[in-house]
Structure 1
Amino acid sequence: MKKALSLAAMTVVMASTALTTGAIAADKTLTISVYSFAQDAYKKALYDPFEEICGCDLVIETGNSVERMAKIEANAAKPVIDMAVISSHDALALAQKGLLAKLDTSKLSSFDKLYDAAKDPVGDNMAVGYTFYASSIVYRKDLISIDSWGDLLTNEKLANNVALPNITGTQGPLTLMMLNKANGQNGDYAKTISDIGAAADKIVTFYSRSSELAQLMNQEEVIAAPVGRFAWSRFKSSPLDFAWANPKEGQAGGMNVMVMTKGNGNEELAYQFMDYWLSTDVQTRVAEAMIDSPANKDVKVSDEVAENLTYGADLINSLNIMPPADIIAQREAWVEQWNTEVIK
């Protein structure tokens, strides 16, 4: 009798263990590292619908580029981030350190719908573009006019009223490129960094996050600053009279990309999320919410929505885009000079 009871008890334990193991196996979690802006909008347009479809949980980690890249590098042996969205040059830097997995683009059903520039933006299929963005100068048109990128450093009305991005942020290299162009410099950025250093006392701050800049501008501490188009909604919705500049040198441009960390063990779910994000339906929904501009060329939006985005082949092809490899090759020298001459 005791033996029979023991066998019965063992059967219950084994059944319970099997159920527990099955529950663990069904518990799918994808950890993604993203920019901190527009997270409420992303939740509604992207995260919540995907979780419902996949029956999984998304763990969202945010931060600036430096913080997020450092976390990926610090956990290279045992990744805690499965997938990240970052700038194309930051993706190249991670790829060069062997931290990224090569993407199997056959698992991305919308891959052929992407603009050609988004298909392999850093080489060797280490990343795929999901959004383009223009960068220009947001300014108070009731207080100032902007004709050139050079106005940021030379217009006396902007003294103690202008902000620039930190060189280590996404907007830093783009702003440096356009100031360099306004200075008539070709390829040598040292003089432009020195010019920024000479004007540093008249610059309110060197910002790291677009949310930080929006706060300063809405508090009327800053009246002009370079910013990415993806953050334009923060300013357009303000009661203050902000405008988007069209400088004579043109607009800068960049691309944010999706990457997958090497050896994360969660590749299939990461591919599922990437594929979902790049689909025409989702890219359209994200565009119509004016969160991000589409890299999927099949996306169609109204003229009113398009005005708030970096949208369409004509605009994308007109942007001044610095190759990621050029940024990586020079960034260390830029940062060293920046720390010496600008951050005093």
Structure 2
Amino acid sequence: MKTISKFTVAGVSALMAGTALAQAETITINSFGGAYEEAHRECILTPFEEKTGAEVRVVTAYSADAFAQLRAQKDAPQFDVIHFSGGQEIVAAQEGLLSPIDEAKLSNAGDVYDFARANLARGEGPAYSIAAIGLLYNNEAADPKPTAWKDLANEAYADHIVLTDISNGYGMLGFLMINQVNGGDLDNIQPGLDAVSKLLDNGAIVVSTSPEIQQEFAQNDAWIAAYASDYAYTLRKAGLPTAFTQGAEGTPASLITANLVAGRPNQDLALQLIDMSISPEAQSCFAEKLRYSPTNAKTELADEVAADVAYGEEGVKGLIRFDPVKIEANRSAWVDAWNRTIAR
């Protein structure tokens, strides 16, 4: 029988140990591509790698696709931290795909607003950014300037309003807010459909994507759109005189969460990444780069940045989170009803 030398055994053992160490020092996450992923890298991932010496592998996958992958890989998930913006963490936690988080292991958790860390023990990760849905408006043409959702019905804005199709996530949240201020709720969207019908009769138009909003503001004399705060900044960077206001009746919120995937070997390292995501430094960076609203109460923003987001105790007080599970359960029926309403 061939004898294996002690040197060879030692070499193999060292190689195996080195491989295990390398695996332990690498985590895989998803991000949302484009400018978001660039900001994600700059504000969180690169500082994390520099601090820990770990490598972060990024899979570009939006929330729905990432959730589908997580479900499909239930027995052998690839992600260590998974990010959602559509509330998928609620269902993922119920299905056991996410691990509960001990708040004591997150040094920044105590500074995060209660609503953004309410269900850590159930496996729903903390929200580290918020897309606040309000009214984008041309601050030179819109007179008077809008301050409330009910202002969409002001005849002064006839022919100058842009609505976004509810197949768009932000469009859905904007519509549900229009429905709510007109007396509806998630069990009855007819008041919202009636309000939309009246807006269309007065000359409002419906678009499907954010670039179409920019086109309407730039070329077709649009003044007001119900959409996310970050897009007001996008329009302003394109040279359009655009401002953002939270409607007085409340602000629908799309919470962007960082979640700990169950069944992975390096959860301590993953928790460090989640902790950095909810730090005031990371959130200040995200707000500056993309105008997402912070969830850490200690985040400090320049005045020009704060004007574009839901900021501070007063700013987040009016945030509304429509039940993502109920939205998903009714999405198909609501889209059908919406399509019948806007067909003209």
Q: Structure 2 length as normaliser, TM-score?
A: 0.80
Q: Which residue of 2 aligns with 1:107?
A: 105
What is the CA–CA distance in structure 1 between the aligned matches of 2:56 and 2:180, rounded to whole Å?
A: 42
Secondary structure in 2 aligned to 1:162? strand
Offset at 1:312?
0.2
Q: Which residue of 1 aligns with 2:26?
A: 29
Q: Which residue of 2 aligns with 1:339?
A: 336
- The more displaced of 32-41 and 103-112 is 32-41
Secondary structure in 2 aligned to 1:293? coil
- The more displaced of 24-33 and 221-230 is 221-230
Q: Which residue of 2 aligns with 1:58?
A: 56
Q: Which residue of 1 aligns with 2:159?
A: 157
What is the CA–CA distance in structure 2 between the aligned matches of 1:114 and 1:178, rounded to whole Å?
A: 25
CA gap of 1:197–1:268, structure 2 versus 1, over 3 A, is farther
Q: Which residue of 2 aligns with 1:242?
A: 242
Q: Which residue of 2 aligns with 1:13?
A: 8
Structure 2 alignment gaps of length 5 or more: none
Q: Does 1:139 align with 2:137?
A: yes
Offset at 1:13?
3.2
Offset at 1:184?
3.1
CA gap of 1:77–1:203, structure 2 versus 1, over 3 A, is farther
Specify the code of the residue in structure 2 equivalent to 1:13: T
Specify the code of the residue in structure 2 equivalent to 1:79: P
Is contact 1:138-1:225 (8 Å) kept? Answer: yes
Secondary structure in 1 aligned to 2:277? helix
What is the CA–CA distance in structure 2 between the aligned matches of 1:92 and 1:222, rounded to whole Å?
A: 40
What is the CA–CA distance in structure 2 between the aligned matches of 1:195 and 1:63, rounded to whole Å?
A: 35
Is contact 1:134-1:253 (8 Å) kept? Answer: yes
Offset at 1:271?
0.6
* Identity between Structure 1 and Structure 2 (%): 22
Instruction: Note the alpha carbon deviations across 1:306-327, whole angstroms, 9 max, x for none.
Output: 22332100111123x0353xx4
Q: Which residue of 1 aligns with 2:275?
A: 275
CA gap of 1:247–1:274, structure 2 versus 1, over 3 A, is closer
Offset at 1:238?
1.7
Secondary structure in 1 aligned to 2:263? coil
What is the CA–CA distance in structure 2 between the aligned matches of 1:186 and 1:270, rounded to whole Å?
A: 38
Q: Does 1:175 align with 2:174?
A: yes
Secondary structure in 2 aligned to 1:240? coil
Is contact 1:204-1:222 (8 Å) kept? Answer: no
CA gap of 1:245–1:109, structure 2 versus 1, over 3 A, is closer
Offset at 1:61?
2.4
| Alignment map for 1:1-344 (pairs within 5 Å) | 10-27=5-22, 28-36=25-33, 37-87=35-85, 89-121=87-119, 124-142=122-140, 144=142, 147=146, 149=149, 156-158=158-160, 162-167=162-167, 169=169, 171-187=170-186, 188-193=188-193, 203-207=205-209, 212=211, 216=215, 220=219, 223=222, 224-247=224-247, 249-289=249-289, 291-319=291-319, 321-324=320-323, 327-339=324-336, 341-342=338-339
What is the CA–CA distance in structure 2 between the aligned matches of 1:124 and 1:219, rounded to whole Å?
A: 46
What is the CA–CA distance in structure 2 between the aligned matches of 1:121 and 1:172, rounded to whole Å?
A: 26
Offset at 1:217?
5.4
Specify the code of the residue in structure 1 equivalent to 2:5: M
Instruction: Note the alpha carbon deviations across 1:238-281, whole angstroms, 9 max, x for none.
Output: 21222224545443334322212221333122111112222334
What is the CA–CA distance in structure 1 between the aligned matches of 2:254 and 2:10, rounded to whole Å?
A: 55
What is the CA–CA distance in structure 2 between the aligned matches of 1:165 and 1:30, rounded to whole Å?
A: 37
What is the number of residues matched between the two proteins? 330
Is contact 1:120-1:129 (8 Å) kept? Answer: no
Offset at 1:73?
1.9
Secondary structure in 2 aligned to 1:226? strand
What is the CA–CA distance in structure 2 between the aligned matches of 1:98 and 1:197, rounded to whole Å?
A: 42
Secondary structure in 1 aligned to 2:253? strand
CA RMSD of aligned residues (A): 3.4
Secondary structure in 2 aligned to 1:100? coil
Specify the code of the residue in structure 2 equivalent to 1:22: A
Offset at 1:338?
0.9
Is contact 2:39-2:290 (8 Å) kept? Answer: no
- The more displaced of 109-118 and 21-30 is 21-30
- The more displaced of 300-309 and 187-196 is 187-196
Secondary structure in 1 aligned to 2:128? strand
What is the CA–CA distance in structure 2 between the aligned matches of 1:65 and 1:222, rounded to whole Å?
A: 33
Is contact 1:181-1:249 (8 Å) kept? Answer: no
Is contact 2:132-2:293 (8 Å) kept? Answer: no
Offset at 1:164?
0.7
- The more displaced of 275-284 and 51-60 is 275-284
Offset at 1:229?
2.1
What is the CA–CA distance in structure 1 between the aligned matches of 2:230 and 2:273, rounded to whole Å?
A: 21
Specify the code of the residue in structure 2 equivalent to 1:119: R
